[in-house]
Amino acid sequence: MNGNLKQKVSYQLLRLITYGIVISVGYILFDIIRHGLPVINWEFLTAFPRRSGSEGGILPAILGTLYLTIGTIAVALPLGVGCAIYLSEYAEQNRFSELVRLAIITLAGVPSIVYGLFGLGLFVIFCRFGASILAGSLTLACMVLPIIIVASEEALRAVPRGFRESSLALGATKWQTIRTNVLPYSISGMITGSILAIGRAAGETAPILLTVAAFFLPKLPGSIFDQVMALPYHLYILATQHPETEKVLPLQYGTALVLLLLVLGMNIGAIIMRIHFRKKYKW
């Protein structure tokens, strides 16, 4: 076989395998959409589950996931952005900033179930929050913190140095410079990071398993010290613990599709925003 032919065949083989990966992902999405779509209707989205989840809708799980993500982002966003501003604008190359970076890398690699154990030990038991929205949100906030920091720092570093220098040259203080000349141009990157973080927090099961999730609650939570239902946990229970798993298969598909749309929607939104803002700000 001559070299040219060999190369062509090899490239086609590489392409075949790469597209094989893409197709298998596509098939998963297709399967869930195909079986989930017929289940989703107004009642499914706005009704309470009946007969321990065998009938009815998933409203409390949707709201529970919403509450958890709001709580998570309310804690993680200010901390993450603060940390990113420090790393990008203030930090010198010293022990402390190196330690911070090491900590961020470590947090990004901790398995989600370990976050669950940590949340159980610290927030649920030691802080006496019990299994609650508060404990779950704080646990998820620790988990998504690195995502927000990395995205925000990248956005801050993308702002040209001249923006800062011109402001400083006019006599503005460092913080005034950051507030008026750096933050406005990096806010989009921070929003992108937050959307990714929300998507991650909404889809995770293991951390909330031990810190907040309940399978069935007759009413919506009244305060941040109440337990909630959540979409990923609801799917897990319906698929594995429910006495009639075969019978509730359509509801499982429906729940999986709602969760998938929520998480993928967030991620696609973040990708589109990134492209949009890259085009908008060119310097």
Partner 1 sequence: MRMVLVSCASISIIIVALIFLFLGKEAAPFSLDPGLGSLFDTRWIPVSFQGERFGLYPLVTGSLLVTMLAMLLAIPLSIIGAVYISEVAQSMEREILKPFIELLASIPSVVLGFFGLVVLAPLVKSVFGLNSGLNAVTAALLLALMALPTIITISEDALASVPRSFKQASLALGASELQTIFKVTVPAALPGIIAAIMLGIGRVIGETMAVLMVSGNSAIISFFPLDSVRTMTATIAAEMGEVPFGSQHYQALFWIGMILLLVTFVLNILSRLVLKKYGMAQ
Q: What is the distance between the alpha carbons of residues 153 and 43, in angstroms, rounded to a whole number?
A: 43
Q: What is the distance between the alpha carbons of residues 104 and 155, in angstroms, rounded to a whole number?
A: 17
CB of 191 to partner 1, least distance (A): 17
Who contacts 48 (Cβ-Cβ below 8 Å, separation ≥6)? 56, 57, 59, 60, 218
Q: Does 117 bind partner 1 (CB under 8 A)?
A: yes
Question: Per-residue string for binding with partner 1, 165-184, x by CB under 8 A?
Answer: ---------xx---------
Sign of the torsion angle spanned by Cα atoms 152, 155, 157, 161 = negative
Q: Does 17 bind partner 1 (CB under 8 A)?
A: yes
Q: What is the distance between the alpha carbons of residues 59 and 171, in angstroms, rounded to a whole number?
A: 54
Q: Does 53 bind partner 1 (CB under 8 A)?
A: no
CB of 7 to partner 1, least distance (A): 4
CB of 201 to partner 1, least distance (A): 10
Q: Does 23 bind partner 1 (CB under 8 A)?
A: no
Subset of residues 127 to 146 that bind partner 1, contact rule: CB under 8 A? 142, 145-146
Q: What is the distance between the alpha carbons of residues 135 and 141, in angstroms, rounded to a whole number?
A: 10
Q: What is the distance between the alpha carbons of residues 123 and 229, in angstroms, rounded to a whole number?
A: 18
CB of 27 to partner 1, least distance (A): 9
Binds partner 1 (CB under 8 A): choice among 39, 107, 183, 224: 107
Structure tokens, 276: 């949009």
Q: Which is nearer to partner 1, 15 or 50 (CB)?
A: 15
Structure tokens, 111: 């398995």
Q: Which is nearer to partner 1, 116 or 193 (CB)?
A: 116
CB of 69 to partner 1, least distance (A): 13
Sign of the torsion angle spanned by Cα atoms 264, 267, 271, 274 = positive
Q: Does 126 bind partner 1 (CB under 8 A)?
A: yes
Q: Which is nearer to partner 1, 133 or 263 (CB)?
A: 263
Q: What is the distance between the alpha carbons of residues 97 and 107, in angstroms, rounded to a whole number?
A: 15
CB of 244 to partner 1, least distance (A): 14
Q: What is the distance between the alpha carbons of residues 200 and 159, in angstroms, rounded to a whole number?
A: 27
**Given the rule CB under 8 A, which of 38-46, 162-170, 182-190, 236-244 is the region that contacts partner 1?**
236-244
Subset of residues 68 to 87 that bind partner 1, contact rule: CB under 8 A? 78-83, 85-87
Q: Does 277 bind partner 1 (CB under 8 A)?
A: no
The count of residues interacting with partner 1 (CB under 8 A) is 87
Binds partner 1 (CB under 8 A): choice among 247, 268, 276, 278: 268
CB of 219 to partner 1, least distance (A): 22
What region does 130 belong to: left with phi over 0, alpha with psi -120 to 50, or beta?
A: left
Q: How would DSSP label each residue in 231-242? A: HHHHHHHHHHT-
